[in-house]
Structure formats: structure tokens, C-alpha cells
Structure 1
Amino acid sequence: MRPTLSGIDEALADAGGVDAPRERAARLRTLLARELEHGATELGHPRSGYEHPVVVAVAARADGLVAVAPVQPGLRADPDAVEERAWLLAAALLGALVESSTAGELTAGAFDGHLALHVAGADADAELVPLAFEEQVAPIDRLRARALAFPAAVLEDVTDLRAPIGAGHPLRVALEVARLGGRPADPASLAEHEDAVLAVLEASQPAISRPHDDPDPSRRVARRILQRLDGMGKWGGYHTDFSHLARGFAGNDRALADEVGEALLLSGLLAEKPSVGQRHVFLNPRRAADIRGLIERGDLPADLTLP
């Protein structure tokens, strides 16, 4: 049985839902602020939203859908700004927005200290988002959350909407996964669409260098591994099974990729997230400069010893 919310859904329905008059917006904003603070606290717990679900909000504007989640707005610039469950909540919300619109340009900003997402598009229907979100959020472990559709006036104070920083930002990856019909908060769906998403993202940015042409075999493999992880936004919120590092390599390069992966972990360019029966790895945001230097120019950090 789904836990009930305390007041906000009743108040929203009483006000008229998405058609509520502007004079009811202030009261709804106050209630939403409480829910967002509750959600931000819940996401820091081992189990989130079990007694009182985490709430995300959505509204339709003339230029598309805008939504708010109890997640740090710094995610737009720094994928390491949020913990994994908060990131997956944002990814699920983005997936629901794409599913409920024509999914144009993505921007992110802030609303009362929380993450705001805007997906441009015509004929967007906010009332479709709650049902889509229910399916998108289902794969997230130890989280119960729901989406509520509000009148546009409630979310009109969203500020500083700008594109996520970096061509491989996890939000951009989530957007492309959702555009392909996948669920960006579901690791299985992400893996299914990984090659197609990577092709889209690589095509959208100029080629700074060619790791494939590096004459040194170990360095070439290291650069290609890091380039692929960067292209898929594997900066913490998204991570991948260590065994996947060898994907795309053939012959002797497959075994070399495993050795190079261990060296990248030992140097700290990659970090490891323990998982049940698996080793999951991701790019270390604190080593972003070294990672970019190796990908783009082949510069080897002093603490990296390749096989």
C-alpha cells in the first residue's frame, strides 16, 4: 500500500489541480517547499520515502515542462555534487519529462535551493508526468517517490536555467537514453542503449584528439577507456561494471584493457563502488584535469603506471 502524503495532494486537488487559479499558488508553494525539504532529508537516509514518499513537482509552461526535485542544483555543473540515490531520482524525473513531451533542449537551474529541470517542447502535458514517473522511478532501490502536477504559477520562480556543463554530463546522457525510449534510472536500460547514446554524444562535439591513433598500445587503451566513460557521463552518478571496460576492444587489447583498468584504479583516475557480486567503477571528479589531459593530449599523470 502506498504511503499517503500529508496535505499537499488534498490541497492541490481542492485548488483545482493544474488549473488552480493564481491566488491559490502561494499556499501550494508553501506546501511544496515543505515537501522538498522533507525529500532532501529523506534522500540522505538508507531508505527514503517509506513512511512519507519523496515528492517531485512538475508544471507545464508555454515553452515545455519544468520540474523540481529535492536534489542539489549544483548537479548541473558538478555530477559529484549529489549522492547516487539523489542522482537517480533526477534521472527518473528527466525520463518522465521526456516521455511526456516532444523532448527538445534540456536546461537545469534552481528553485528554492533545489534542482529544476526544463525540457523544451510544444504541447507538453504535466498531468502525464506522474504516471510516467511512477514507471521511471520503480527500478531505484530503497526509494519511494511520486510526482505531482502543479499549475505553472507554483513553479514560476525557477531561475538560472542553463545547459548542463560538459558534453558527457550525466544529465545529457539521461536525456538521450530517455529519447531512445529507455529508463535512465535503470542500469539495465542504460546498458542497452549505451552504444547508441555514445554515438549521439560524440557526433555532437568536435573531435579534440584521436585516442584511437595513439601509437603506444597501453596509452591508447587507457585513453579510449576514459574517453568512453567520459562520453557516457560515468562521473559517479552513473557507474559501470569493471568488466565493461574491455567492451569495444578486440584480440590482445581485451586483456590489456583489464590490466589498464586496474592501473587506472590504482592511480585514482577511476574510483570503485562496491556492488553485490560486481565491481563498479566511475571517473573520479577530483581528477578531472588529469583525465581530460590524458584523453585529449595523451598526458600521463605521474602516479599512473601503465602495463
Structure 2
Amino acid sequence: MHYLSYKLSAQLPNIIVDGSANAGTELLLSHWQNNTTPQELRADLSAQIVFNYLDKPEIKAEATIVSNDHFDADGLVGVYSLLNPDDAEELRDLLIDIAGAGDFNVYKNREAARISFILDAWLNPKLSPLKASIFAQDYHYLTNVLYEELLPRFPRIIEKVDYLEKYWKAQDNLLESSEEALRNKRFKLTELPELDLAIVTMPDANVEPSKAIHRMAIHNQTDCMRILLLQETNFEFYYRYESWVDFQSRKTSPRIDMKSLAESLSKQESMDGVWSFGGINEFTPALRLTGDSQSKIPFESFRSQVLEFLAQHQA
């Protein structure tokens, strides 16, 4: 088996990992919505689906080409494992942990989190070892370059993660400080299971709520799929990625469109403050304030309005 770019793979029989099928796809191994992955292989992560496929030799695709239409940790782990099944089996738990850290912002082993941060860095023009000119190309070109560069490097990245600190240090520092703030109650996490909602209250900072705390610190402490971040004068709500994919281990609450709430909140702000919601079909849609660094809505009023809206629109 060998990797081929998504565009070229469409001309030949292929196995697509993690993304969407194309014209040549014989087998899809993906947790994306509306996938055609065989039911007996389905799992929360595409990487887990690949391992399920490797565990079941009776399900055998004839295609020898592997590809994906986007780059992320779950996709890289899945493609790598399909191309290197013996090596991947020896690292199965760590590889699945890396995929989960990248896709769902959850981790068991801190090493897995750091490896996912390294992969994030390759996608960041300011940190990536790739030439800046590559980021001026279209997304499919960039995706192909990332796979071609990282598939052969992936084992060494895993082996040498401690030597690659410059790529993971910034995120790791935020994760560490976020976990410490939750431990010492400077940040407080409260769950409302009836709304599938976790509320994180934090003091004001010089950054917006989503940049004041690392999502891994939150997701490692709650299974709730709806997250409400509350600073004293700025707020944010988002849906976790698990609620978009074909999640298997448990049922996730349907997403509620927050656009009408955003419109209502905007009317309560100053002229510059506008609330927006990306839409329920985005991977991790967020309700957030733009145009102003501070909301004019009182803390308790904002909190109550979000909770009331979710309760009124529960399926």
C-alpha cells in the first residue's frame, strides 16, 4: 500500500481515511457524518476505525492506495497505521491517544498531547518547518505536502518528542496553567448534565475566553458536549467536535442553532459589540462577541439567557 494525494487518488481504487470518499473510493474508514464505513468497523475516531479494519482480515479491500482530503492528527495516525500496520500495532494505545488529543482535545498520556501540538505546529505558518510559500498554495496542495513530509517523519517525532519542545511548549504551558487553575479553583468547572453543558467560570484576562484556557483541560474533566466559558465581562459558548462526527461510544445531544440567541444578545450590546454563531454544521461552532473586548451584558444575565435558551430548545 502507498499514499497518494486525494486529487490523484480519485482516478484509482483507493481507501480514504478520516475524510470523505471520492470517485475512486473502494473503502471509507471515517468517522465523519454520513460516512459509508462498514458498521462493524465504526468507532469514535477514524484511527480506531483503521485498527478495527486491521483487526478484521475478513474485511479486505483490494485497493492499494490510501489518502485523505484533509490533514490532522486523526487522519495522519489513520493513514500511517494503514501503511505500517505492524509498527502501528506496537504503538496502538499511544497512536489512538494522539488522534484523540488532536480531534477531541482529550488525552491520557501527556506525550500524546505534545505530539498533537507538534502536528498543529506544522499547520501554523508561524511555527511550521515548511516554507512560507507553501501556505500560499491551495488547501489540497498543503494537505498533500503535510502527508508526504510527515508520514516518513512520524516515527521519529514520536521517538524524539522531548527534543521538539519549541513546537509544543506554548500549548503545553497553556495546558499546564489551565489544569493548575482548575485544580486550585481559580477556574471553576460546573456540570449541568440535563443540558449536556459544562460551565467554566474564570476571572477576566487580557485575552478572550477561548484563549485563556486550553480545551484539553476542560474536556479531560467533563463529558459534556456543550461548553460555556464565562469571564467577568466576556463570554463564549461552543460545541465539541464529538457532537459533529459519527460518535459511537455514547449518544450526543443534538446541536441547537444559537443564531437567534446571538441576535438577541447583540441588541443588548453597545454599537460595536456583535454576537455571532457559526452554524451547527461547523466542526466546533462557537457563540462569541466581536467588535468589543467586553460585553455590556451582566454576567448573571448572560448565563441565565444561555441556560434558558438551551432548556427551551432541548429536543
| TM-score of the alignment, normalized to the shorter chain, above 0.5 | no
Q: Which has the higher contact order (CA 8 A, sep 6+)?
A: 1
TM-score if structure 1 supplies the norm length?
0.29
TM-score if structure 2 supplies the norm length?
0.29
